[in-house]
Structure 1
Amino acid sequence: MRAADTFRSTGSRRLLAAVTALSGTLLLGSCGGGADQSKDEESTGVASVKGPTKGTGDKPAKQVERPLVRPDSSDEEQLRVWRVYYDCMAKQGVEVGKNKEGDLSAFKDRDKDPKFPAGQKKCGHLEPETPSWRSAREDPDFRNKADKWVKCMRSHGAVATVGDDGMFALDDATVHVGLEWSDKCEAEVFLAK
């Protein structure tokens, strides 16, 4: 995993927090009885669930799973997956830098680019994620796994921490060791059966 692949913007974190808050509000709001009770409910005292009316387009939103960049993927495979995302963002007008091979490889300044939010809205489903990022979103046991990941990296001499979003940070003095062991330790902890 390259350092550029592990950066998640504050905008992404804010978006995740907003989606979570909105989901909770919608779920809680749908639990009340409301003033428009049906005749059946008034007479029986039992509320019934009614499906969507024909033609309203009320369909549940389908969750699109982002591409997973496994730590045991080849560099070519990781580059291919990231290239799809960066190409999409570039087509939306987001400034994307290039590496020495000429491939799109990182955002120039995603926090200050005015086109980034719209690009992320259109291309966000293509943004690759690591097993730790996915675990942070979906796995209730994430914190325990993150602690094991840090313990593994520390056992090899890296001074590391992992945030609640699945992003890790390394002490400047041990970056080289941490980058060497982060993928191996991540695979050991997050991909173990």
Structure 2
Amino acid sequence: MSIIGVSRSRGAAAVVTAAVSLTLVAGCNGAAKTDSPSGAQGTPGVASIQKPSTAASAKAVAAERPLIRLDSSDEEIARLRGVYIDCMLANGFPRQFVKGRTGYPTDLEDLGLSTKVLGDIKKNCASKEPESTMARAQRLDPAYADHLDANIKCLNDHGVKAVVQDGSPALVDGLPSESEAHWLDDCEKEAFGSYYSTLK
């Protein structure tokens, strides 16, 4: 099960802080084939940095979803995610699947929920689920592939081994050391800066 929500506390947890800004989905689903930036197949066992939510990817959402920026505070992230969690709970989502005010599963179809509950959540809550800046870029940035390649190149150039997996950056050796964790944010900002500057 993939769950959104990992502590973004500063200081000693800088590694996790940087990873969550890339919408780290905890609980990766085992080995997977990956794409290298050049499109080559077959790198197993890579930890995915980002996995878009199935509920959030519904194209029928009329309103733009709330945006979690790289500089969003822990409090703002908890507030935005809390609104979405409250909506899910009000539409029949089981409380035992919720992890505090920021953690929730993204793969709702795998939880054995009824068709009605799934439909109600998608209809009433999809527009409330927060979206990371990179997830928005993946949906809307026409130059996303170029920006993603630049992000992967930057990470690898700074010793953080990364590849493309399912159209998103993925770390080959897991989270980097605390001293190198800043490259997760720095490379994303550098690679996607021209697009992120257009986001409101």
- The TM-score, its normalising length taken from structure 1, stands at 0.60
Match of 2:109 among 88, 111, 125: 111
Instruction: Write out per-residue CA displacement over residues 104-137 of structure 1, whole angstroms, 9 at most, x where no aligned residue.
Output: 5122862323233430221111111122211121
Match of 2:52 among 8, 13, 17: 8
The answer to which structure, 1 or 2, has the higher relative contact order (CA under 8 A, 6+ apart) is 2
Q: CA RMSD in A?
A: 3.0
Structure 2 residue runs of 5 or longer lacking an equivalent are 1-19, 27-49
More helix by share: 1
Query: Who is 1:52 aligned against?
Result: none
- Matched-pair contact (CA < 8 Å) for 2:67–2:130: yes
Match of 1:146 among 148, 161, 179: 148
Give identity over the alignment, percent.
33
Aligned residues: 144
2:135 and 2:107 map into 1 onto residues whose CA distance is: 21
1:176 to partner: Cα distance: 3.1
Query: Who is 2:70 aligned against?
Result: 71
Alignment of structure 1 residues 1-193 onto 2, 5 Å: 1=20, 3-4=24-25, 6-10=50-54, 15-16=58-59, 63-95=62-94, 97-99=97-99, 102-107=100-105, 110-113=108-111, 114=113, 115-163=117-165, 165=167, 167-171=168-172, 173-177=173-177, 180-192=182-194, 193=197
Q: Which amino acid aligns with 1:4?
A: V
- The TM-score, its normalising length taken from structure 2, stands at 0.59
Q: Which amino acid aligns with 2:110?
A: K
Partner SS, residue 66 of structure 2: coil
2:138 and 2:106 map into 1 onto residues whose CA distance is: 26
1:161 to partner: Cα distance: 2.7
- Matched-pair contact (CA < 8 Å) for 2:163–2:171: yes
- Matched-pair contact (CA < 8 Å) for 1:70–1:130: yes
Instruction: Write out per-residue CA displacement over residues 122-171 of structure 1, whole angstroms, 9 at most, x where no aligned residue.
Output: 11111111222111211211110011111122223222234565x33222
1:184 and 1:121 map into 2 onto residues whose CA distance is: 36
